[in-house]
Structure 1
Amino acid sequence: MLGKGRIAAALSVALVSIGLAAPAPAGAAISRADLALRWAPIHYQDVDATGSHALGGKADYLTKVNFDGDWNGRNNWDRAADSGASFSAAAYYSVAETSTHWYVTYFFFHPRDWADHPFFETEHENDGEGVLLAIQKDGSPYGVLRSAVTVAHTSFYSYTPSGSTWTGGRETVDGTLQLQSSPHDSFQHPVTAQEVQGHGLKAYPQYAINGDGIVYYPATEGETPSSTNDRDVRYELIDIFAAGGLWAQRDNTSLYANLGTFAGDTSGGCGVGTYSCGTNSANAPWGWDDGDDLPGRGEIATDPAKLSAEYFAVPGELARGYTYNPYTAEKADLREAARTAPAVTD
């Protein structure tokens, strides 16, 4: 007869093998990947299937940056139209840690930022928006969620869940961060949403599904939506700092025009029938910036404790020194790149 420990271990392996998150045993230390999976958003993606640039709705599907099998940012608009293009759902994450908090940044990617009418709207190749979650360490395995800051184009929006001890600081809290149960694990997850076409990201329901849409749930393996109105699609979480991944490619001039800005051009019909097509117009997390706010370019990901201290009034201690921050070794380079990088309007 199996003991409780062996049963729990067997159950955890079984859950992971089918792409589900397993709860941590009481008192167990968890990995950063487990922490990111536990707090990853349930994500509502509105879908528009109209217009020649919509790809029948697929232009609003989440996918990997290298969905087409290469790390060339200048062919993503074009390759998204290929019959063999993969729209297996994925999102990226990074984790920073202080003695008092964890900070998890999530990055959602689309190959196209698109429009379906000719007036006033621009399009561009590649599109990257996301959210930063601040999680207070309270002695439990996964801590307690205190806040979220989302990226909608070139503006940040701040939220707190019900019962949070955090309130508005230099920035006004823009709303309540809802939590929702996932059918794929035992947790309540924050709920985020993205609009069609331009893919601005806010807390649900400040954006919501209007007609067709996808509801994405975090998991260890991704799925491809069965249609433009699939309300249960699992998305894979990928570490930004994985070997050969997004951060490792940061000097790849085929993928990035400069540090934190994706390379993109006007090939493949971008801008045809619309106002224009922008080039080099989307950012990775270390390039996100709200120019009206005090934190610098990229600090939502690279120095999230600083951003949280600016955005929120936090009772008790909010440590500013990091016990783990994968961006730290490159921080001087990041500061110089942020100072000299051209402004990018997503």
Structure 2
Amino acid sequence: MLDRSSKAGGSRVARALAAAGVVATLAAAHLAAPVPAGAAVSRSQLALRWAPIHYQDVDATGTHALGGRSDYIARIDFDGDLNGRNNWDRAGQTGTSLAAHVYYSVVETSTHWYITYLFFHPRDWADHPFFETEHENDGEGVLFAIERDGSTYGVLRAAVTVAHSDFYSYTPAGSTWTDGRENIDGALQFQASPHDAFEHPVTAQEAQGHGLKAYPQYAINGDGLVYYPSTVAETPSDGNDRDVRYRLVDIFAADGLWAQRSTPSLFAGLGTFAGDASGDCGSGTWSCSTNSANAPWGWDDGNDVPARGEIASDPAKLSAEYFTIPGGVARTYTYNPYASAAAALAEAARTAPRTVD
């Protein structure tokens, strides 16, 4: 499951090439191959098309920041194993890879595609002693709802992001979706990528706690990274690298995250990553909590109607609750691997204690 691709100072090289006037040529060479006319788009192509350009604020202050590396996104097995209880310590060790990866899942109805993206950090950390809790592992993300309008990739109508234990909803300019049970929190912006031919939605995460919202509700404040969707994984050259490509990883792959959902070294419960208080987690801060990060089927806004995990496992329901949608949405799934465990998910959501990410 490992990919140890690295960037080797790519952002500095890119700036030098820009000065020489050759960046446009390089960008053209990296354009995503178009889908042939009339061909059905694959789920991986859909995920790559709509994957966000992602702004990550970086804080290098304090020992828990690891010089900014604690704010780099990574694979869950960045250290070579599927043990969630050693990630805090190994994030600071040499020989581990913080090459950029983002997890995704696609579920389908006859009217919409729903794509969930998970951004993982080995640490949720703080740099001051008062009122802040750290924990091992951190999983935040976003759901995109895409209408199947007959075009190759459809049209993106709305997004719901995960910032700790709260969800925030957004619509792009021109969307037909409006306020539902929840008020829309802002506009979803788009930005052209230098690595393909598309404009992508733009998301952002804060440093330390890594809450995720639509850009610029979070933004880079000083040092920061700009991640671009791609088919390769790059490691930032430093904490202020503005061109880092990330690789997508399918949650539903044969050996993927969903297949590992009952692995006790990785999950303490359904949708809850295993994490302990080893090492210096909590040292100099308020505390270090355990088992406090979630996979998409564990995400929850406890004040809202959708149950725990339904942002990923039943996104049509969540969309119908959050938005007013002309014509509604189909509620029967034509593809939804989460549904194979729907009863277990529902029971676990009903009985599980609330976790804070």
In structure 1, the residue matched to 2:256 is 245
Q: Does 1:298 align with 2:309?
A: yes
Q: Does 1:196 align with 2:196?
A: no
Q: Normalised by the size of structure 2, how large is the TM-score?
A: 0.91
In structure 1, the residue matched to 2:94 is 83
Long gaps (5+) in structure 1: 1-14
The answer as to whether partners of 1:98 and 1:322 remain within 8 angstroms in 2 is: yes
Equivalent position amino acid for 2:179 in 1: G
Alpha-carbon spacing, 1:247–1:20, altered in 2? closer, same or farther (3 Å): farther
Q: Normalised by the size of structure 1, how large is the TM-score?
A: 0.94
The answer as to whether partners of 1:19 and 1:219 remain within 8 angstroms in 2 is: no
Equivalent position amino acid for 1:189 in 2: H
SS in 2 for 1:53: helix
| Alignment deviations for residues 193-231 of structure 1 (CA, whole Å, 9 cap, x no partner) | 000000000000000000010000001111000111100
The answer as to whether partners of 2:100 and 2:233 remain within 8 angstroms in 1 is: yes
Q: Distance in 2 between matches of 1:44 and 1:233?
A: 10
Equivalent position amino acid for 1:255 in 2: L
Q: Distance in 1 between matches of 2:333 and 2:74?
A: 31
Q: Distance in 1 between matches of 2:126 and 2:31?
A: 35
| Alignment deviations for residues 36-85 of structure 1 (CA, whole Å, 9 cap, x no partner) | 00000000000001100001000000000000000000000011010111
Q: Distance in 1 between matches of 2:333 and 2:314?
A: 9
In structure 1, the residue matched to 2:67 is 56
Q: Distance in 1 between matches of 2:279 and 2:119?
A: 22
Equivalent position amino acid for 2:120 in 1: F
Q: Distance in 2 between matches of 1:142 and 1:216?
A: 22
Q: Distance in 2 between matches of 1:130 and 1:164?
A: 21
The answer as to whether partners of 2:55 and 2:226 remain within 8 angstroms in 1 is: yes
Equivalent position amino acid for 2:103 in 1: Y
Q: Distance in 1 between matches of 2:92 and 2:171?
A: 38
In structure 1, the residue matched to 2:278 is 267
Q: Distance in 2 between matches of 1:268 and 1:317?
A: 50
Written as runs of structure 1 = structure 2, the 5 A alignment for 1:202-217 is 202-217=213-228
The answer as to whether partners of 1:21 and 1:220 remain within 8 angstroms in 2 is: no
Q: Distance in 2 between matches of 1:125 and 1:41?
A: 25
> Would you identify which runs of 4 or more consecutive aligned residues in structure 1 move more than 6 Å?
none
In structure 2, the residue matched to 1:6 is none
**CA displacement at 1:19 relative to structure 2:** 6.9
The answer as to whether partners of 1:21 and 1:37 remain within 8 angstroms in 2 is: no
In structure 2, the residue matched to 1:223 is 234
Q: Distance in 2 between matches of 1:21 and 1:43?
A: 18
Q: Distance in 1 between matches of 2:51 and 2:291?
A: 28
The answer as to whether partners of 1:100 and 1:317 remain within 8 angstroms in 2 is: no
The answer as to whether partners of 2:233 and 2:245 remain within 8 angstroms in 1 is: yes
| Alignment deviations for residues 101-140 of structure 1 (CA, whole Å, 9 cap, x no partner) | 0000000000000000001101000000000000001111
Q: Distance in 1 between matches of 2:334 and 2:210?
A: 33
Q: Distance in 1 between matches of 2:203 and 2:284?
A: 31
The answer as to whether partners of 2:320 and 2:328 remain within 8 angstroms in 1 is: no
In structure 2, the residue matched to 1:122 is 133
Q: Distance in 2 between matches of 1:228 and 1:155?
A: 27
**CA displacement at 1:23 relative to structure 2:** 2.2
Long gaps (5+) in structure 2: 1-25
> Between the two proteins, what is the percent identity of the paired residues?
76
**CA displacement at 1:26 relative to structure 2:** 2.3
**CA displacement at 1:343 relative to structure 2:** 1.1
In structure 1, the residue matched to 2:113 is 102
Alpha-carbon spacing, 1:20–1:186, altered in 2? closer, same or farther (3 Å): closer
| Alignment deviations for residues 152-201 of structure 1 (CA, whole Å, 9 cap, x no partner) | 00000000000000001000000000000000011110000000000000
Q: Distance in 1 between matches of 2:346 and 2:52?
A: 29
The answer as to whether partners of 2:35 and 2:41 remain within 8 angstroms in 1 is: yes
In structure 2, the residue matched to 1:323 is 334
Q: Distance in 1 between matches of 2:310 and 2:168?
A: 15
In structure 1, the residue matched to 2:16 is none
Q: Distance in 2 between matches of 1:302 and 1:330?
A: 9
Q: Distance in 2 between matches of 1:244 and 1:94?
A: 14
RMSD: 1.1
In structure 1, the residue matched to 2:85 is 74
Q: Does 1:310 align with 2:321?
A: yes
**CA displacement at 1:20 relative to structure 2:** 5.4
The answer as to whether partners of 1:74 and 1:255 remain within 8 angstroms in 2 is: yes
Q: Distance in 1 between matches of 2:259 and 2:89?
A: 24
**CA displacement at 1:27 relative to structure 2:** 2.0
Alpha-carbon spacing, 1:22–1:329, altered in 2? closer, same or farther (3 Å): same
Equivalent position amino acid for 2:324 in 1: A
The answer as to whether partners of 1:62 and 1:108 remain within 8 angstroms in 2 is: yes
SS in 1 for 2:162: strand
